[in-house]
């Protein structure tokens, strides 16, 4: 099966939309195939503002229907407590909200951007997709991340080379209770590094310190801006560390 065949069989779908590479291409292809599609973006404390801006921009460029849902994920004790399977509880809330809204809007099929490269074995959130019967057309059609990027570039989507970006909660160690202040500090730190030109990086929380991880190709850039990065991040962290082993 290819995507055209998928959308021929499913003429009306709701899309869990993040503004990332995969869901962006899926939205584009659904529209191209003449499918009645509506994108649902869930705005929460776990998503940085730039993701929302990208989602808005793409929807506007494609003239797509987009619904924005607000969700207080930290109101859930299972999510805020940050256990090892936090992603399961969070995705249950997110996809549950989308599914409820989509059904009210007359959609019976919900799809997401999971692709054939995604590891489905050790990702608690994947269980939610199965439980809620969410379809993943990219994975079903065997499209890998590399292929989605290539096809996105051919389609003229600005998201084609957008770096992968996991939610802000992934910067906080398991078992550490998540607070809005932690998420704000993380977003502020990573937004600053983006402005300096970094693409492959993370700023993780380690106690009261910021642990900066960058790809090997960006170490020179990091050292060139070492002083100003440390000064900026110390607005929210007591110290700033460089991780020389783990890559983002």
What is the spatial distance between Cα 211 and Cα 214, in angstroms, rounded to a whole number? 10
Task: Check pLDDT > 80 for residue 247.
Answer: no
Is residue 66 predicted with pLDDT exceeding 80? yes
Closest CA to 30 of 12, 56, 17, 16: 12
pTM: 0.94
Give 204's pLDDT tier (boundaries 50, 70, 90). very high
- Estimate to the nearest angstrom the gap between the alpha carbon of 199 and the chain centroid: 15
Domain with residues 179-242, CATH architecture: 2-Layer Sandwich (3.30)
Task: Give DSSP secondary structure letters for 80-111.
Answer: HT--TTHHHHHHHHHHHHHHHHHHHTT---EE
- pLDDT tens, position by position, 134-173: 999 999 999 999 999 999 999 999 999 999 899 999 999 9
pLDDT exceeding 90 applies to what percent of the chain?
A: 92
Domain ranges of the chain: 3-161, 179-242
Same fold, 3-161 and 179-242: no
- Residue 192 has, within 13 A of its CA and on its CB side, a CA count of 20
**The CATH number of domain 3-161 is 3.40.50.620:** yes
């Amino acid at each position: 099966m290819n995507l055209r065949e998928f959308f021929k069989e499913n003429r009306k779908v709701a899309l869990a939309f993040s503004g990332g590479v995969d869901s962006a291409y899926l939205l584009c292809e659904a529209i191209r195939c003449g499918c009645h599609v509506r994108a649902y973006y869930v705005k929460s404390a776990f998503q940085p503002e730039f993701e929302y801006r990208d989602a808005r921009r793409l929807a506007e460029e494609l003239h797509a229907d987009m619904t924005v849902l607000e969700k207080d994920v930290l109101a859930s004790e299972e999510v805020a407590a940050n256990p090892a399977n936090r992603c399961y509880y969070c995705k249950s809330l997110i996809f549950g909200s989308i599914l409820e809204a989509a059904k009210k809007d007359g959609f019976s099929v919900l799809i997401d951007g999971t692709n054939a490269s995604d590891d489905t074995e050790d990702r608690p959130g994947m269980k939610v997709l199965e439980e809620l019967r969410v379809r993943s057309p990219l994975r079903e059609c065997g499209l890998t991340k590399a292929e989605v990027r290539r096809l996105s570039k051919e389609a003229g989507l600005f998201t084609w080379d957008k770096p992968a970006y996991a939610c802000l909660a992934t910067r906080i160690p398991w078992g550490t209770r998540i607070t809005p202040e932690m998420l704000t500090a993380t977003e502020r730190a990573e937004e600053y590094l983006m402005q300096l030109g970094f693409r492959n990086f993370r700023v993780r929380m380690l106690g009261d310190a910021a642990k900066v991880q960058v790809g090997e190709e960006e170490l020179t850039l990091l050292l060139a801006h070492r002083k100003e990065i440390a000064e900026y991040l110390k607005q929210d962290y007591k110290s700033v560390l460089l991780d020389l082993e783990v890559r983002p």
